[in-house]
Amino acid sequence: MPILDIGEVAQRSGVPASTLRYYEEIGLIGSLGRRGLRRQFDADVLLRLSLIGLSKAAGFSLVEIAGMFGQNGQPDLPRAQFHAKADELQRQIVDLSALRDMLRHIADCPAPTHLECPTFRGLLKSASQGTLVTHPSLGEAGRGLKPARRR
């Protein structure tokens, strides 16, 4: 079971050392202990970081992620909540697929003003399985979507 120090974890994972310290501080990852001052990480942390990256991309906050994969590796949440998160994610996947198709459409369709193109409107309407504002006077724009973040 290999032990890594922070520089190696940073290099292999692409996550900066400052971020790793921050993640440890908030309890999102754990280290085995110290050698002198230096944190020693189990190689497993790399998997955990993948999981974290994935979850961040899905729009989960660090706090939520911490809840999903408690410090020991075991989830902190009841099973039903996982199903709920998965379903939420499924909805998001549907939406992103629609957006992907819209981007492809924009790239290929010669019409300059896409909001008027029926194909485009159709794709937009299909997003969020119809909960979007396309229908007169009902629904909330982007309702059911996870606000997402990047940096």
CB of 96 to DNA, least distance (A): 17
Nearer Cβ to a second copy (33/109): 109
Considering the rule CB under 8 A, would residue 50 count as an interface residue with a second copy? yes
Cβ within 8 Å of residue 123, ≥6 positions away: 98, 101, 102, 105
Angle, CA 12 vertex, CA 7 and CA 15 arms, to 5°: 70
Phi, psi of 134 (to 5 degrees): -60, -35
Nearer Cβ to DNA (99/109): 99
Nearer Cβ to DNA (35/100): 35
Nearer Cβ to a second copy (6/36): 6
Helix or strand or coil: residue 35?
strand
> Could you say which of a second copy, DNA, none residue 80 binds, taking C-beta under 5 to 8 angstroms by partner kind?
a second copy
Cβ within 8 Å of residue 149, ≥6 positions away: 56, 59
Whether 27 contacts 69, CB under 8 Å: no
Whether 40 contacts 5, CB under 8 Å: yes
Considering the rule CB under 8 A, would residue 61 count as an interface residue with a second copy? yes
CB of 27 to a second copy, least distance (A): 17
Q: Which of residues 30-49 bind a second copy (CB under 8 A)?
A: 44, 46-49
Binding mask 74-113 for a second copy (x = CB under 8 A): xx---xx-xx-xx--xx-xx-xxxxxxxxxx-xxx---xx
